[in-house]
Structure 1
């Protein structure tokens, strides 16, 4: 995940702690009978302001950090003012991905209604006045006047004019911002496929192909588990549906890790289907992790993650002559990782190799082909670990456009390969993948 998003998440989690600090100050001001009345009064008002400000701010900051793209300040203002962020559970304070506290969440695809944006100005005025009254209540020495100002601040807060959330936000569940807590690697994806075939394929069918005949007559038609599923719903909501949805065949029967692994497998399979149809991955994907063996300067590397910070070319070799040999020639700008079949002889010219079982199958899913058809293909991975370009074994024209492989773009443009590795690397450097959600990098 990009560093900025990580810091925003930590800021949001820190605000949850400050919320409880503020509540502690309020209780101290009310119960510290040995202190002067003025000191107790100011401490209680300061604690109340800190608690209210934290309860308002942490949902907005957390939502901004977990939402792809820039979220307009009006949306965050409405979200913070309407969120049920009061009294977060003490046990949840140690959770890096806490349950979402609101019935709404930001969604870049929701068009912003002009009337709602104008109403947010009145909301901003009410919040500024409420904050000003609370500050004056803390500053004045007269207790009656302070109580009056504090009461006015409470009225302004209680009757703040919140625009209809449906005009700016999308519906959310408690699991909307849950993130996978399993490694995105070859072994986890292989387990995801095994569990999908064991528990899901009977009703849902092969990924992207739709329900099987067994579902005819069922009261509830199973979901088609294709690429559109991941384009329109956060992965946390998919997790919540599988794990907790009433009536789901395997509610509470799969472990959390198994559910995440199944979703990761479906995500990779959907990416391969999209690549075959649109000549692009329309959603960003990290390169699945795998064990590797390297020589020379990279002799210390034991896994693909050890090469983070370097541009990596993953070339699929069958152990003999293949069409990718020219693309895999040593290049000082890249670290080469060759995918070889298990027990294959390691060529002397290979910089890094992986013979881990399941790598061909996993990267075949990403390419939308069978393992037998994968030999000769190649993948480019940027310094942050994102898959950025693809070269098919059947396509002699070159690499895909790296600026169109990580998000929705004009499909007509994504189908035009650049061909030149230098141009591809230059585009990768000029157009990095932006802040994203769900990246375990």
Structure 2
């Protein structure tokens, strides 16, 4: 996730960004020209293949081949334009362009391209909101838990009766799939290499809103199971959007603070003292009923998550039972990524509270056992040290093969 995760991070990130932008531009152009229609309310990807950004990410050699080949095509195009504009040097320009194409290290198409679905580039309309996650939990419990399990590890009561065990939803691999492709797997089902169904299609059972909601819930479920079992979040998780009410003012979406302000969520149930305000972040209370405490002492936090559904969603993400949630804190960075979890009654923030660390996207992240479960050994307090580290190691989450 950090900018230094890969030695070739800068050029590789730029290459992935250019490829993603090019595919999206091509999709929009085809849709505008009427060459492709809609699928589930958004423009449909018209081809069976897309660029395999996830493969380029783990194979820099292949990425270099593709980058040089793209450069050769650009040079050849420039040579063609020059040849058409400059008759005296026409032969030399044509020759230079042809030579560039001949010498280009063309990669094998089967390695650069991967299977695509009509919804591969679809964007979730839910904004990863608390209401959607809560709705997704109800859908998951009714339609998915029997096979995937209550904790998402693929060990539900019906799992053993299937021809193939369901994939775990709590690991990093599934969490890095593009949302549009996860959507397609749910609505169209999945088949093994032998063509036999490995997951039923829910396209006739669930509406689009339910499918997007259950995808949101799977992200929260993955985070909570990872936090509970490994002490880390398997993949970066955005701070869920929800209505925020401060001092009786009209509710505002939490997304209004994204990109400008860190946010600290603190679960309170009326028995513990309210946390102090802190100018370094917005402190947001999460209460069981979604209402602010009746009395808020001076300098204490008073903004509240104005929805009772936030309590269960925060407990799920934190990986703790709802009854044990009071006093738990979640901390997000300025870009809206959840980064740390503080335990109830903890005197000081510790390095092990950083559940989303730099390196998750590139495989260099510290293991839970390798982190020191003691206050951060710096001249500043533990919370300040965590904030400085979060700012120094911004999230560069690779999902669907492209940096988010």
Q: Which runs of 5+ in 2 are unaligned?
A: 1-8, 191-196
Flag the structure with higher helix content.
1
Classify 1:178/1:422 alpha carbon distance in 2 versus 1 (closer, same or farther; 3 Å): same
Classify 1:121/1:189 alpha carbon distance in 2 versus 1 (closer, same or farther; 3 Å): closer
Flag the structure with higher strand content.
2
After TM superposition, the structure 1 = structure 2 runs for residues 429-440 of structure 1, keeping only pairs within 5 Å, are: 429-434=391-396
After TM superposition, the structure 1 = structure 2 runs for residues 93-242 of structure 1, keeping only pairs within 5 Å, are: 99=45, 101=47, 102-107=49-54, 109-113=57-61, 117=64, 121=68, 124-125=71-72, 127-140=74-87, 162-166=106-110, 169=112, 171-174=114-117, 175-242=119-186
After TM superposition, the structure 1 = structure 2 runs for residues 32-431 of structure 1, keeping only pairs within 5 Å, are: 71=12, 88-89=30-31, 90-91=33-34, 99=45, 101=47, 102-107=49-54, 109-113=57-61, 117=64, 121=68, 124-125=71-72, 127-140=74-87, 162-166=106-110, 169=112, 171-174=114-117, 175-245=119-189, 247=197, 248-253=199-204, 254-295=206-247, 299=249, 301-308=251-258, 309-321=260-272, 325=274, 328-342=275-289, 345-349=293-297, 350-393=301-344, 395-400=346-351, 405-407=356-358, 408=360, 409-411=365-367, 412-414=369-371, 416=373, 418=376, 420-431=382-393
Classify 1:436/1:361 alpha carbon distance in 2 versus 1 (closer, same or farther; 3 Å): same
Classify 1:99/1:72 alpha carbon distance in 2 versus 1 (closer, same or farther; 3 Å): same
- TM-score normalized by structure 1? 0.67
Cα contact 1:283–1:406 (8 A) shared by 2: no
State the aligned residue count.
362
Bigger Cα displacement from structure 2, 79-88 vs 425-434? 79-88
Q: Radius of gyration: which is bigger?
A: 1
User: What SS is found at the alignment partner of 2:215?
Assistant: helix
CA RMSD of aligned residues (A): 4.4
Q: Deviation of residue 190 (structure 1)?
A: 0.5
Q: Deviation of residue 403 (structure 1)?
A: 6.5
- TM-score normalized by structure 2? 0.72
Classify 1:130/1:317 alpha carbon distance in 2 versus 1 (closer, same or farther; 3 Å): closer
Structure with larger RCO (C-alpha < 8 A, sep 6+): 2
User: What SS is found at the alignment partner of 1:71?
Assistant: helix
Cα contact 1:129–1:153 (8 A) shared by 2: yes
Classify 1:139/1:276 alpha carbon distance in 2 versus 1 (closer, same or farther; 3 Å): same
